[in-house]
C-alpha cells in the first residue's frame, strides 16, 4: 500500500448521511433550546426507542413532553434523530453518542 493509499479513508459501510443529518439537526435544536443538554444525557442508558431513556426522555422526563417542549410536529421526530426505524436504531444511537462526546 502506498503512502497516498494509506491516507485515503474508506467510508464506513454503516454510515447513512440522511440519519446523520437528522442527528445533526436534532443536536443543533437542542443547542439552541437546552444549551447544556449533552451533560444531562446518560449515554450508557441511551435507548432511542424507549420513551424515558431516549434523548428527549432523559432531558424532558419522557419523549412526548420533549416533543412538546421543542415544538416538534407529529411524524417528524426521525427528521431530528429523536426516533428511528428498528433497522436504524443502533446507527442513530452511535451517532448521538458521538455528538454528545464531542460536546463534553
pLDDT grade, residue 13 (50/70/90)?
A: low
Q: With contact defined as beta carbons under 8 Å apart, do 17 and 25 qualify?
A: no
Average the pLDDT over 84-92 and give the result: 95
- Give the rounded percent of residues in the chain with a pLDDT score beyond 90: 85
**Model pTM score:** 0.86
Average the pLDDT over 85-98 and give the result: 96
Q: What's residue 15's pLDDT?
A: 81
The CA-atom distances, in angstroms, between 74 and each of 60, 70, 82 are 17, 12, 12
Average the pLDDT over 14-28 and give the result: 93
**Between 8 and 28, whose confidence is greater?**
28
Amino acid at each position: 500500500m502506498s503512502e497516498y493509499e494509506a491516507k485515503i479513508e474508506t467510508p464506513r459501510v454503516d454510515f447513512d448521511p440522511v440519519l446523520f443529518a437528522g442527528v445533526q439537526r436534532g443536536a443543533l435544536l437542542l443547542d439552541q433550546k437546552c444549551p447544556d443538554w449533552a451533560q444531562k444525557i446518560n449515554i450508557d442508558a441511551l435507548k432511542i426507542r424507549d420513551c424515558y431513556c431516549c434523548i428527549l426522555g432523559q432531558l424532558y422526563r419522557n419523549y412526548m413532553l420533549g416533543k412538546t417542549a421543542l415544538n416538534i410536529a407529529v411524524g417528524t421526530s426521525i427528521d431530528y434523530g429523536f426516533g428511528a426505524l428498528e433497522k436504524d436504531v443502533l446507527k442513530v444511537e452511535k451517532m448521538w453518542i458521538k455528538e454528545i462526546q464531542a460536546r463534553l
